[in-house]
Amino acid sequence: MTSRPVLVVQHQDDCPPAWFGTWIEAAGVVLDLRRPYRGDVLPADLAGHAGLLVLGGSMNATDEQATPWLGPTKELVRAAVAGGVPVLGICLGHQIVADALGGGVAVNPAGTQRGLLAVDWSEAAAADPVFAARPARVAHWNDDVVLAPPPAATVLATAPGGEVQALRFADRAWGIQSHPEVDEVVLATWAEEDGVDVADFLAAFAAERDALLAAWRPVATAFARLCVSRPS
């Protein structure tokens, strides 16, 4: 295993690294999981870390007053991009990275995205170091989206409605709007908390579970390998 862990920023209890954490660890990378909402302190820099994984959450990516650790997280994102440290943001994390690098995040004008949706990959994704596997389907659960990617970003995928689905922000920085990390337990928890009926969503997810896991594991593994191969 690499001697340096990947720093994981988790924003709430019901948004864990889940399958992505399992896959990254299986690829030989230790996770340094920080929960700042519980009082965990984020490091001042990433000198002791091989990568940065920023997870999802129900909060707004731009409201640093309500969620005070967003500012320090964005500083780490900018430091990672400047220093060539691999970064991956998932859902809220994707929005945090976009905002940190000068993009625009807002409520999706088309409304909430919730369900198992298709992924429309761009030609650029075929040669991308992380998303080259180009999985066909993924779970969505979000209200906000990246409406304006940062100037240097490359769009790798869009959702069925045309919303930005995956971005390469820089040579070693990525984000994905959806939730490739979740399982049925996480989805059911969100449904209970939000008071919504997602029986059809859960049934579709269960029916495709093995295919989803097989399709998305290479993405997590590719990210982990970039972290492992980063020079000390």
Distance CA 166, CA 121 (A): 9
Q: How many CB atoms lie within 10 A of CB 16?
A: 19
The string of DSSP codes covering 135-160 is -SEEEEEESEEEEE--TT-EEEEE-T
**Side-chain half-sphere of 8: how many Cα atoms within 13 Å?**
21
Catalytic residues: 91, 179, 181
- Taking alpha carbons only, the member of 13, 16, 101, 33 closest to residue 62 is 101
Q: How many CB atoms lie within 10 A of CB 136?
A: 12
